[in-house]
């Protein structure tokens, strides 16, 4: 597994940036951004990586920086690159937290996700890779790490039907999960219109945010500027799909033509764009 780098982006806030790549046997599924926040009493982990080995690397990185226990593991949504590392924290006594809808969505895709991980990562999987939350967020939840509070918000259908964002109130750091992709093409797994609504809501709070941790890509400080390319891409899909439907074009034509001007602006465009148009 490649070296596991962790950056401190604010006091007590640490981020590991995953690779801008598809999961494979070389990167062990280390393709999503992960983080942790250290309070006075304990630590909260935000996403755990795409395999137990990535989760173990994250756990070692935490243990290097603090002897405090992990009390929360927060999953921003159910996609494998963000949750298969949960297994590395199963014996910590931590409370696992996710949005309402997470358990049902993950259970429905259990077989598909595990079989795909075996093929792409080249390792045996088992049900221990699927750690379900004990606490679910319907709208909002606030958790205390000991004098340090995290504000959790669940979102309606957007990137998925179980997206969750996390704000560390002390440092004004926003963990967007996959509501925000930087450089890597966004992947629609629920609703393009719902995702655009979520982006609009996030943008309204941009002045309150000092640090932004996207689900994929580099950390930044200017939320609205970071949201802009993704907004452009999703609006192009939404508007052009509507036009194609109105004009009577079929799916094959639509996937071949909608938002093709975006191709050179995104990594992994050819891997996800046709699926995005189909989903829209």
| Confidence at residue 255, expressed as pLDDT on a 0 to 100 scale | 95
Q: Enumerate the β-bridge partners of residue 143.
A: 150
249 pLDDT above the threshold of 90? yes
Token digits for 51? 């395999």
φ, ψ for residue 53 (rounded to 5)? -65, -35
Closest to 101 in 3D by CA, of 124, 132, 128, 72: 132
Torsion angle defined by CA atoms of residues 240, 242, 248 and 252, in that order, rounded to the nearest 10 degrees: 60
Instruction: Please report the sign of the dihedral spanned by the C-alpha atoms of residue 247, residue 248, residue 253, residue 258.
Output: positive
Closest to 196 in 3D by CA, of 151, 152, 239, 254: 239
Tell me the Cα Rg of the chain.
Answer: 18
Mean pLDDT over all residues of the chain?
A: 97
pLDDT in tens, 108-134: 999 999 999 999 999 999 999 999 999
SS3 for 119? helix
pLDDT in tens, 172-203: 999 999 999 999 999 999 999 999 999 999 99
| pLDDT classification of 1: cutoffs 50, 70, 90 | low
pLDDT in tens, 67-100: 999 999 999 999 999 999 999 999 999 999 999 9
Percent residues over pLDDT 70 in the chain: 99
Q: Which residue has the tokens 């639509």?
A: 254
Other beta carbons less than 10 A from residue 167's beta carbon: 20
Token digits for 164? 């969750």
Percent residues over pLDDT 90 in the chain: 99
2 pLDDT above the threshold of 80? no
| pLDDT classification of 3: cutoffs 50, 70, 90 | confident
């Amino acid at each position: 597994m490649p070296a596991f780098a962790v950056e401190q982006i604010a006091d007590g806030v640490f981020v590991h940036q995953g690779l801008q790549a598809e999961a494979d046997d070389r990167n062990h599924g280390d393709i999503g951004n992960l983080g942790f926040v250290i309070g006075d009493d304990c630590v909260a982990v935000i996403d755990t990586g795409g395999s137990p080995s990535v989760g173990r690397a994250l756990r070692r990185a935490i243990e290097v920086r603090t002897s405090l226990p992990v009390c929360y593991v927060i999953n921003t949504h159910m996609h494998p690159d963000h949750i298969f590392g949960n297994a590395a924290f199963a014996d910590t006594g931590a409370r696992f937290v996710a949005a309402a809808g997470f358990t049902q969505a993950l259970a429905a895709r259990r077989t598909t996700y595990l079989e795909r991980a075996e093929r792409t990562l080249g390792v045996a999987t088992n049900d221990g890779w699927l750690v379900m939350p004990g606490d679910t967020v319907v709208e909002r939840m606030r958790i205390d790490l000991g004098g340090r509070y995290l504000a959790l918000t669940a979102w309606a259908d957007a990137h998925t039907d179980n997206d969750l964002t996390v704000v560390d109130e002390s440092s004004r750091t926003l963990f967007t999960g996959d509501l925000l992709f930087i450089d890597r093409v966004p992947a629609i797994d629920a609703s393009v219109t719902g995702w655009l609504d979520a982006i609009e809501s996030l943008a309204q709070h941009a002045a309150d945010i000092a640090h932004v941790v996207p689900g994929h890509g580099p950390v930044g400080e200017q939320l609205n500027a970071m949201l802009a390319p993704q907004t452009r891409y999703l609006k192009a899909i939404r508007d052009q799909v509507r036009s194609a439907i109105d004009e009577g074009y079929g799916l094959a034509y639509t996937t071949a033509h909608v938002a093709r001007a975006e191709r050179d602006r995104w990594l992994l465009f050819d891997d996800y764009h046709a699926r995005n148009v189909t989903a829209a």
